[in-house]
Amino acid sequence: MKVCNQCNVAGQPEDRVQFNHSYKQQPLVYKLLCVHLIYLPLLSIPFIIVNGAFIALYLKMVGVKDYTSYRSFLPDRQSHRYNLKNQVTKGSNNRFNPVSSKLFWILNCTWYCPYSVALFEWHAKLMTMMETLENINENHPKTDGDLKSQANDFLKRASMLFQLGKILVCLILTLCLPFVMFSALITVLHLKMAGATNVKVFRSFLPENKTFSSAKTFWGTTYLRLLVFSIALFNWHAYLVKLVENWWCPFHHNRKEPHYRAGAINQSFWHLYPEDFKKLSPDDRDNPIWNEFK
């Protein structure tokens, strides 16, 4: 898949998202609009959570064991660079500017951004497991691996439940996808307003030369196409939120390396302002994920 080509983009300036200095010269009203625009995707989060919870429940019901949980995609709480007591903030002469509040940075950089990244990565993983189950159902090959052996055991026991679950998954996923698309497009708009260029587009996350010849029915082909589209969409959205987090929150946590390298940028929001740049931890000032090699 093309998305695999992103794994080591730090150190490859041509692949980085470039944030220009135009944002610094924008009027305060523009900046406040840009900042608050990123909260519109919160409207889609409940639908996405319900979708993920249902698919996780379905995988558990069909006998898949030890599938990756949402929690495993979250950074360790103790690994965050800052807490509410020692969080650095940007200086501002305007009391209406939220960047001067410690709580603003904690809510965004410790909770909103990393939890959103985890949510979309988790969904992509669940969709990938669903695709694997569907391929097994169509082909019934003799395969190795825990997931495939569990799936084969299940298919022998409860194929009717499997088919009913697929229909429900397809229905709920179809209802959820418009909200994911809305959230992704708002995130792209936010990045563009912040001056981002060279942002990867959705089609770069689609698999190359993907065929569905293994599916024996029209329903099987349609279902596989939906899963492949969904995997790409969730991976793209996770990438977009990583860009947002690297831009606004150049602060360490234990998933930044290597998981956020796919969202490497030339400079963070903090690097635009020398008086605030010096407030960063030395490790954050020079981190190649959000500070381009000079």
- State what percent of residues in the chain have pLDDT above 70: 81
Note the pLDDT tens digit of each residue in 219-271.
Answer: 778 888 899 999 999 999 999 999 999 999 999 999 999 899 999 999 999 99
Give the pLDDT confidence score for residue 5 in this predicted structure: 39
Note the pLDDT tens digit of each residue in 25-38.
Answer: 899 889 889 988 99
pTM (predicted TM-score): 0.86
* Mean pLDDT value of segment 182-203: 96
Asked if 245 contacts 117 with a C-beta cutoff of 8 angstroms, the reply is yes
Residue 214 has pLDDT above 70, yes or no: no
Residue 49 has pLDDT above 60, yes or no: yes
Note the pLDDT tens digit of each residue in 135-174.
Answer: 766 555 444 455 656 555 555 555 677 778 888 889 999 9
Residue 117 has pLDDT above 80, yes or no: yes
What's the alpha-carbon Rg for the chain, to the nearest Å? Answer: 21
Q: Considering only CA atoms, which of 76, 74, 70, 71 is closest in space to residue 51?
A: 70
* Mean pLDDT value of segment 114-141: 83
Residue 20 has pLDDT above 80, yes or no: yes
- State what percent of residues in the chain have pLDDT above 90: 56
Residue 253, Cβ density class (10 Å: 0-12 exposed, 13-18 middle, ≥19 buried): buried
Q: Considering only CA atoms, which of 233, 181, 171, 193 is closest in space to residue 44?
A: 181
Which alpha helices (H) appear in 43-101, and where do they start and end? 45-61
Mode of pairing for the β-strands spanning 18-19 and 196-197: antiparallel
* Mean pLDDT value of segment 53-62: 87
Asked if 290 contacts 246 with a C-beta cutoff of 8 angstroms, the reply is yes
Helix axis angle for 113-139 and 146-157, nearest 10°, is 60
Give the pLDDT confidence score for residue 106 in this predicted structure: 95
Give the pLDDT confidence score for residue 1 in this predicted structure: 34
Burial state string for 108-136 with b = 16 or more CB within 10 A and e = fewer than 16: bbbebbbebbbbbbbbbbbbbbbbbbbbb
* Mean pLDDT value of segment 268-285: 91
* Mean pLDDT value of segment 115-122: 97
Candidate from 47-56, 93-102, 190-199 with smallest mean pLDDT: 93-102
* Mean pLDDT value of segment 111-118: 97
Alpha carbon of 240 to those of 116, 158, 202, 232: distances in Å? Answer: 10, 39, 10, 12
Asked if 168 contacts 179 with a C-beta cutoff of 8 angstroms, the reply is no
Candidate from 5-19, 85-99, 231-245 with smallest mean pLDDT: 5-19
- Average of per-residue pLDDT values in the chain: 84
